[in-house]
């Protein structure tokens, strides 16, 4: 479990590094990110990001200080077709993903030297996490606490969290279940003609009207859910609608950075990886 020690122990990194990271990503990073950076630095002082970060589960070295250029859009780091803004780059449970990556590689690697190296890194990571009071569980205490606040699951499965007051103002359900909405989306995408597709869009248009009413009554979560589901479905047929719903929902919820990220993502979206920092 997460313990108090991790909260009181500040990572030994420079204030310049902290400013560089937070200015670049426009986010306030948790202390465990800096502890993880320090851990990597101790493994390899010359290349702190190291081999450990060069994998699909954890953002690579180009995410980190010393590898940025002025024209890089960090909002698109590691964003792929269906990544919503809350999956923004390296801020997503990095140490836990590193642990999972090590476990995966240990099952795959057969070379004895590489196995021993991975075991050594795994042991050091586990020891460092224990000393600092961090959990390496796949689902941490904070993640479990978030689960309790989820108002609906959504297509991406991580669930939606929006403020709901004692009068249940903040979220109202969509008139369609996830399964029914997916069927509607499938019909739209597979329509044989534009005329058929336009007709198939009718339920979506109706829900957008419901969202307008919901926004007027401060139930901002409804528009966020519909926009997120259409975004996560992944078809370009829903880009325009998602582009109308999501920035507005995030703005109403005062999540302005997410509004910026989703606009950048939709503007650059394709079926290929849109990781700008790896370009």
User: Which pLDDT value is given to residue 106?
Assistant: 84
Q: What is the DSSP string of the chain?
A: ---HHHHH------HHHHHHHHHHHTS---HHHHHHHHHHHHH-SS-TTTGGGSSSSS--GGGSTTS--TT--GGGTT--TT--GGG-GGGS-HHHHHHHHHHHHHHH---HHHHHHHHHHHHHHHHHHHHHT---SSS-HHHHHHHHH-SB--TTSS-B-----TT-TT----SS-HHHHHHHHHHHHT-SSHHHHHHHTHHHHHHHHHHHHHHHTT-THHHHHHHHHHHHH--GGGHHHHHHHHHHHHHHTT-HHHHHHHHHHHHH--SS---GGG-
User: Which pLDDT value is given to residue 28?
Assistant: 79
User: Which pLDDT value is given to residue 31?
Assistant: 86
Look up the pTM and report it.
0.68
Q: What is the largest CA-CA distance in the chain?
A: 63
User: Which pLDDT value is given to residue 50?
Assistant: 57
CB 20 within 8 A of CB 14: no
User: Which pLDDT value is given to residue 60?
Assistant: 42
CB 102 within 8 A of CB 122: yes
Q: Cβ contacts of residue 34 below 8 Å, gap of 6+?
A: 10, 11, 13, 17, 18
Cα distance between residue 205 and residue 61, in whole Å: 43
User: Which pLDDT value is given to residue 81?
Assistant: 52
**Active-site residue 22, yes or no?**
no
CB 277 within 8 A of CB 68: yes
User: Which pLDDT value is given to residue 89?
Assistant: 46
- Domain residue spans of the chain: 4-143, 150-278
pLDDT block averages, 10 residues each, the chain of length 279: 54 88 79 85 71 46 50 48 57 61 83 89 88 80 88 91 96 97 98 97 98 98 97 93 97 93 81 44
User: Which pLDDT value is given to residue 96?
Assistant: 63
User: Which pLDDT value is given to residue 197?
Assistant: 98
User: Which pLDDT value is given to residue 143?
Assistant: 82
Spot the catalytic one: 217, 260, 263, 272: 217
Helices 239-252 and 221-233 pack at an angle, to 10 degrees, of: 150
User: Which pLDDT value is given to residue 53?
Assistant: 53
């Amino acid at each position: 479990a997460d313990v108090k020690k991790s909260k009181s122990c500040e990572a030994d990194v420079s204030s310049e590094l902290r400013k560089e990271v937070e200015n670049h990503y426009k986010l306030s990073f948790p202390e465990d990110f800096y502890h993880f950076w320090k851990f990597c630095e101790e493994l390899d002082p010359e290349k702190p990001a190291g081999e450990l970060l060069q994998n699909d589960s954890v953002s690579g070295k180009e995410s980190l200080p010393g590898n940025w250029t002025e024209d890089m859009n960090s909002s698109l780091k590691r964003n792929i077709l269906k990544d919503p803004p809350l999956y923004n780059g390296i801020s997503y449970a990095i140490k836990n993903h590193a642990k999972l990556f090590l476990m995966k590689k240990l099952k795959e690697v057969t070379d004895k030297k590489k196995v021993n190296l991975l075991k050594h890194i795994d042991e050091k990571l586990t020891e460092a996490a224990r000393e600092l009071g961090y959990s390496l569980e796949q689902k941490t205490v904070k993640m479990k606490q978030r689960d309790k606040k989820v108002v609906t699951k959504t297509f991406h499965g991580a669930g939606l969290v929006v403020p709901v007051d004692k009068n249940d103002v903040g979220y109202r359900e969509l008139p369609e279940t996830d399964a029914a909405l997916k069927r509607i989306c499938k019909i739209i995408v597979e329509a044989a003609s534009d005329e058929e597709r336009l007709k198939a869009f009718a339920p979506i248009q109706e829900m957008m009207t419901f969202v307008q009413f919901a926004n007027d009554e401060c139930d901002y979560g409804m528009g966020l859910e519909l926009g997120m589901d259409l975004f996560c479905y992944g078809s370009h047929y829903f880009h325009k609608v998602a582009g109308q719903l999501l920035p507005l929902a995030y703005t109403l919820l005062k999540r302005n950075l997410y509004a910026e990220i989703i606009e950048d993502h939709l503007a650059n979206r394709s079926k290929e990886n849109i990781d700008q920092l790896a370009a």
